């Protein structure tokens, strides 16, 4: 309907202005109102005009399975732009009707694992590989990276996100963007901003203080914009202090464009917001996937004088600026043959660098003199590559732990394998049958209870094997949050852990737990039982191989936690007002505003800036594993800390020596404690970090870290200003947020930078 209207009118326009041949302005001037509205509203999705139908992935015409496209305007030379998910690799349909070829993409590690590498160079390499798949499969913009803050362990999408800390989030996302965009394809950093829960994600109003907005929730986006120049930004579904983010000019224009200098395009999340005219006025340039209603809202608003055509032109111009950057506009002849083999190697090696060794008593790992391995836990057989929803990738295979161990030369006892796999398939079938079929493909199927070995099976396995590995798995994904039972180990997992550790320990044999999870789980109550715990995350399609590379000692683990593992879920400050275990019915859009239900319409971020370690340190609270924590097979010594001011930059350096016996990499974290000032401050805050190269035993490296003096600022709401207090700052070189190895101090002059007084709580 909308296409027909636009095209009839457009066919009588002069042919002269043509994108690429004449200026963008001349093309804008030549466009009718209807064409303009058509350009800023995407092509839509098959079978869905009301925004309520789950048809993600049905853009069949250009790149099947891509999430959306912009509208072509042939007479003006405007080609469409293909937008495709998502953070763990490109998500398109793997097969096409009547076409024998396959279009699998590489499933790279989830965001949380990538961040846990603390290695921007490596993340950039992963991004380069992803970007090559985007380009060679004919897409133009990858709808990633996703960098919302891990405010609470239960956010269903934490697996796509990076950290509870904005510096880690921002640096990780910036590296990712640089990598992907090195292929001359685009990214869309998302979800801007404050998407910290899935419960009622399209209706919830996030009520946040300006200080927390600036210091915690926007900081990572600011870093990414400034350090990597992403082509596009995707606004989030939720509201911020009463207004949908896509309709909030103070966010999309005042802060993003005017303050940070963002020059690219802003698009909505899929069907996000509720008024396209307001979105245009706010500076949200593109509505995706696009509905007839949005088109009408824009045309009507301009005709009624409620939306200025100048505002619409600004958005149109930015869409055209995006169009001309794309490979499609430039006529790139994509091959449909990305280098999947090389990328499998990239995912395997990058994954092992983000795995975090949580416990390793008595040098249990790496496995030495071990040949026969017993595996327990349903997940060992059905390894989880990543999360579900738009962050999933249609991969050709997933290497399970069993396959990985076998590839690594171990003899694996899977006498129970067939039974476990049959049981898993049956249980998954039953769960799937309970789901609305239109959503089933997008939802994580709950993991069934562990199929426990009988005592006879267990003693048979014990007799034949040198060591036991128990995998504990969790799936999560878009549309809903995890629950407290999902955070805790379930009774069958506890039973399995106890049975296996008791039996193996009695026989003098060790037990290793592998956590194949996308987010934080409770560890405090059971971590005493096994001898070693490896947090493998969800490591992409080569997961089993990557885990084996760590277990076997091919590589020393060098990942560190980018979030705190609390003792209890309720220890996190945000748990007080996070929608824990709310039984909100599920629908594609899940919009429930106003529902009148407590905790569904509004989420008050009462903890302010005290998210993650900022909170646990302030409270001096015991945690299970602190932010920044992670063991290695070797050990590192820190010496000769130095800090100096060079102009506007704080330059710090420290010598790190490998004092163990095997090669390894260390992540050096630079925390800063501010002097007493007018504002309340966290105990310490991460300001920079760096990873050493792989240091052979006995070798040392001088590690250099730097940050800008202005990064020391806190946001003073009373003055609407970033304020650096004058005084002596305590600079800490640390192996984790609770393992400070060296210190130095730095005298800093005070400064103040005023910014627009916006986004206040109404
Ligand atoms: C998700 C986005 C995604 C989009 C397109 C939405 O439901 O929130 O992250 O990019 O769908 O698939």
Distance 143 CA to ligand 1 centre (A): 8
Residue 704 to residues 82, 562, 640, 656, 667, Cα–Cα distance (Å): 41, 20, 12, 10, 12
Q: Is 289 in the pocket of ligand 1 (CB under 6 A)?
A: no
Q: Is 270 in the pocket of ligand 1 (CB under 6 A)?
A: yes
Closest-CA residue, ligand 1 atom 5, reads 67
Q: Is 86 in the pocket of ligand 1 (CB under 6 A)?
A: yes
Supply the DSSP symbol for 185: -
pLDDT given at position 585: 66
Closest CA to 532 of 359, 376, 355, 352: 359
CA 649 to chain centre: 29
pLDDT given at position 583: 74
Closest CA to 9 of 281, 290, 299: 299
* pLDDT for 53 beyond 60: no
Q: Is 269 in the pocket of ligand 1 (CB under 6 A)?
A: yes
Which stretch of DSSP H or E encloses residue 324? helix 309-325
Q: How many Å apart are CA 630 and CA 113, to the nearest integer?
A: 13
Query: Is residue 584 very low, low, confident or very high in pLDDT (cuts 50, 70, 90)?
Result: confident
Average pLDDT over residues 366-389: 95
For residue range 313-359, list pLDDT tens digits in order: 999 999 999 999 999 999 999 999 999 999 999 999 999 999 999 99
Q: Cβ distance 77 to 152 under 8 Å?
A: no
Percent pLDDT > 90 in the chain is 88
**Residue of 389, 391, 441, 477 best suited for mutating to test ligand 1, as the one with most atoms within 8 Å of CB:** 389
Closest-CA residue, ligand 1 atom 9, reads 390
Query: Of all atoms in ligand 1, which is nearest to the CA of residue 57?
Result: 12
Q: Is 201 in the pocket of ligand 1 (CB under 6 A)?
A: no
For residue range 559-583, list pLDDT tens digits in order: 999 999 999 999 999 999 999 988 7
- Residue 426 known to be catalytic: no
Closest-CA residue, ligand 1 atom 3, reads 390
Distance 442 CA to ligand 1 centre (A): 11
Distance 541 CA to ligand 1 centre (A): 21
Q: How many Å apart are CA 46 and CA 65, to the nearest integer?
A: 11
Q: Is 413 in the pocket of ligand 1 (CB under 6 A)?
A: no
Residue 76, preceding peptide bond in cis (omega within 30° of 0)? no
Q: How many Å apart are CA 118 and CA 109, to the nearest integer?
A: 14
Q: How many Å apart are CA 292 and CA 302, to the nearest integer?
A: 16
Closest-CA residue, ligand 1 atom 7, reads 270
Query: Of all atoms in ligand 1, which is nearest to the CA of residue 146?
Result: 9
Query: Of all atoms in ligand 1, which is nearest to the CA of residue 201?
Result: 8
pLDDT given at position 479: 85
Average per-residue pLDDT in the chain? 93
Contacts of 174 (CB under 8 A, 6+ apart): 120, 223, 224, 227, 228
- Phi, psi (deg, nearest 5) at residue 626: -80, 160
* pLDDT for 286 beyond 60: yes
Closest-CA residue, ligand 1 atom 8, reads 269
pLDDT given at position 58: 42
List the Cα angle 64/67/68 in 5-degree steps: 95
- Give the end-to-end CA distance of the chain in Å, rounded to a whole number: 40
**Residue of 63, 65, 67, 230 best suited for mutating to test ligand 1, as the one with most atoms within 8 Å of CB:** 67
Q: How many Å apart are CA 176 and CA 95, to the nearest integer?
A: 27
Distance 130 CA to ligand 1 centre (A): 18
Q: How many Å apart are CA 728 and CA 27, to the nearest integer?
A: 56
Q: Cβ distance 723 to 680 under 8 Å?
A: no
**Residue of 82, 272, 394, 478 best suited for mutating to test ligand 1, as the one with most atoms within 8 Å of CB:** 478
Contacts of 502 (CB under 8 A, 6+ apart): none
For residue range 209-237, list pLDDT tens digits in order: 999 999 999 999 999 999 999 999 999 99
- The percent helix, strand, coil of the chain (3-state, each to 5) is 30, 20, 45
Residue 34 neighbours by CB distance under 10 Å: 18
Distance 687 CA to ligand 1 centre (A): 31
Query: Is residue 432 very low, low, confident or very high in pLDDT (cuts 50, 70, 90)?
Result: confident
In 3-state terms, what secondary structure has residue 687? strand
Distance 494 CA to ligand 1 centre (A): 35
Residue 754, preceding peptide bond in cis (omega within 30° of 0)? no
Query: Is residue 442 very low, low, confident or very high in pLDDT (cuts 50, 70, 90)?
Result: confident
Distance 313 CA to ligand 1 centre (A): 26
In 3-state terms, what secondary structure has residue 360? strand
Query: Of all atoms in ligand 1, which is nearest to the CA of residue 160?
Result: 9
Of 85, 93, 205, 269, the active-site residue reads 269
Average pLDDT over residues 104-121: 98
Closest CA to 147 of 107, 187, 181: 187
Q: Widest CA span of the chain, in angstroms?
A: 86
For residue range 667-709, list pLDDT tens digits in order: 999 999 999 999 999 999 999 999 999 999 999 999 999 999 9
Closest CA to 438 of 56, 84, 91: 56
* pLDDT for 445 beyond 90: no
Which tokens go with 574? Answer: 């945000």
Query: Of all atoms in ligand 1, which is nearest to the CA of residue 237?
Result: 8
* pLDDT for 59 beyond 50: no
* pLDDT for 132 beyond 70: yes
Query: Is residue 443 very low, low, confident or very high in pLDDT (cuts 50, 70, 90)?
Result: confident
Q: Is 111 in the pocket of ligand 1 (CB under 6 A)?
A: no
Angle of helix 292-303 relative to helix 309-325, nearest 10 degrees, comes to: 140
CA 83 to chain centre: 18
pLDDT given at position 440: 74
For residue range 168-194, list pLDDT tens digits in order: 999 999 999 999 999 999 999 999 999
Q: Is 56 in the pocket of ligand 1 (CB under 6 A)?
A: yes
Distance 67 CA to ligand 1 centre (A): 8
Closest CA to 232 of 140, 130, 107: 140
In 3-state terms, what secondary structure has residue 8? helix
Distance 346 CA to ligand 1 centre (A): 25
Closest CA to 400 of 424, 418, 382: 382
């Amino acid at each position: 309907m909308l296409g027909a209207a636009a095209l009839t009118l457009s066919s009588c326009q002069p042919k002269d202005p043509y994108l690429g041949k004449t200026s963008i302005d001349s093309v804008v001037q030549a466009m009718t109102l209807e064409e303009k509205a058509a350009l800023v509203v995407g092509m839509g999705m098959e079978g869905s005009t009301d925004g309520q139908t789950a048809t993600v992935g049905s853009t069949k015409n250009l790149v099947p399975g891509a999430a959306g496209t912009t509208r072509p305007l042939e007479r003006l030379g405007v080609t469409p732009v293909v937008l495709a998910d998502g953070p763990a690799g490109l998500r398109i349909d793997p097969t096409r009707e009547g076409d024998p070829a396959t279009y699998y993409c590489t499933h790279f590690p989830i965001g949380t694992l990538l961040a846990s590498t603390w290695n921007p160079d490596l993340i950039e390499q992963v991004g380069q590989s992803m970007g090559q798949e985007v380009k060679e499969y004919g897409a133009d913009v990858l709808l990633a990276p996703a960098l919302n803050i891990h405010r609470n362990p239960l956010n269903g999408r934490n697996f796509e996100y990076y950290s509870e800390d904005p510096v880690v989030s921002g640096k990780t996302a910036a590296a990712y963007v640089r990598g992907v965009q090195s292929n001359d394809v685009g990214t869309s950093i998302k979800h801007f901003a404050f998407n910290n829960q899935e419960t009622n994600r399209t209706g919830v109003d996030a009520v946040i203080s300006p200080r927390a907005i600036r210091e915690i929730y926007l900081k990572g986006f600011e870093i990414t914009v400034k350090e990597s120049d992403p082509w596009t930004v995707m606004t989030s579904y939720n509201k911020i202090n009463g207004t949908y983010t896509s309709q909030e000019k103070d966010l999309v224009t005042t802060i993003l464009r005017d303050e940070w200098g963002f020059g690219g395009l802003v698009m909505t999340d899929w069907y996000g917001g509720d008024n396209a005219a307001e979105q245009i006025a706010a500076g949200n340039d593109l509505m995706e996937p696009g509905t007839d209603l949005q088109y009408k809202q824009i045309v009507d608003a301009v005709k009624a004088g409620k939306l200025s055509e100048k505002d619409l032109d600004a958005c149109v111009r930015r869409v055209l600026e995006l169009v001309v950057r794309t490979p499609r506009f430039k006529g790139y002849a994509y091959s449909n043959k990305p280098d999947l083999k090389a990328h499998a190697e990239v995912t395997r090696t990058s994954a092992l660098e983000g795995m975090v060794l949580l416990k390793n008593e008595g040098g249990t790992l790496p496995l030495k003199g071990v040949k026969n391995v017993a595996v327990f836990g349903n997940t060992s057989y059905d390894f989880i590559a990543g999360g579900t929803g738009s962050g999933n990738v249609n991969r050709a295979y997933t290497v399970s732990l069993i396959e990985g161990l076998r590839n690594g030369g171990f003899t694996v006892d899977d006498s129970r394998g067939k039974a476990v796999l049959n049981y898993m398939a049956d249980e998954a079938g039953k769960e799937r049958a309970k789901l609305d079929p239109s959503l089933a493909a997008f939802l994580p199927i709950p993991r069934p209870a562990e199929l426990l070995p009988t005592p006879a099976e267990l003693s048979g396995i014990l007799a034949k094997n040198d060591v036991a590995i128990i995998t504990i798995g969790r799936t999560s994904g878009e549309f809903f949050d995890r629950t407290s039972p999902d955070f805790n180990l379930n009774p069958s997992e506890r039973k399995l852990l106890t049975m296996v550790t008791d039996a193996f320990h009695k026989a003098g044999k060790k037990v290793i737990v592998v956590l194949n999870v996308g987010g934080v789980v409770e560890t405090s109550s059971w971590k005493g039982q096994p001898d070693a715990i490896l947090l493998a995350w969800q490591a992409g399609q080569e997961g089993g191989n990557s885990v084996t590379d760590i277990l076997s000692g091919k590589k020393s683990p060098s990942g560190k936690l980018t979030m705190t593992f609390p003792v209890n879920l309720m220890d996190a400050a945000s748990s007080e007002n996070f929608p824990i275990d709310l039984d909100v019915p599920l629908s594609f859009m899940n919009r429930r505003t106003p529902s009148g239900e407590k905790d569904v319409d509004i989420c008050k971020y009462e903890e302010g800036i005290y998210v993650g370690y900022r909170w646990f340190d302030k409270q001096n609270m015991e945690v299970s594993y602190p932010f920044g924590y992670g063991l290695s097979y070797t050990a590192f010594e820190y010496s000769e800390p130095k800090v100096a001011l060079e102009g506007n930059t704080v330059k710090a350096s420290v010598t790190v020596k490998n004092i163990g016996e095997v090669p390894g990499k260390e992540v050096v974290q630079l925390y800063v404690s501010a002097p007493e000032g007018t504002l309340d401050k966290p105990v310490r805050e991460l300001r920079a970090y760096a990873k050493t190269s792989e240091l052979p035993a006995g070798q040392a490296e001088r590690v250099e870290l730097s940050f800008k003096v202005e990064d020391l600022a806190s946001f003073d709401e009373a003055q609407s200003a970033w304020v650096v207090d004058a005084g002596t700052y305590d600079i800490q070189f640390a192996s984790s947020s609770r393992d400070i190895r060296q210190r130095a101090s730095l005298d800093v002059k005070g400064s103040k930078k005023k910014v627009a007084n916006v986004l206040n709580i109404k």
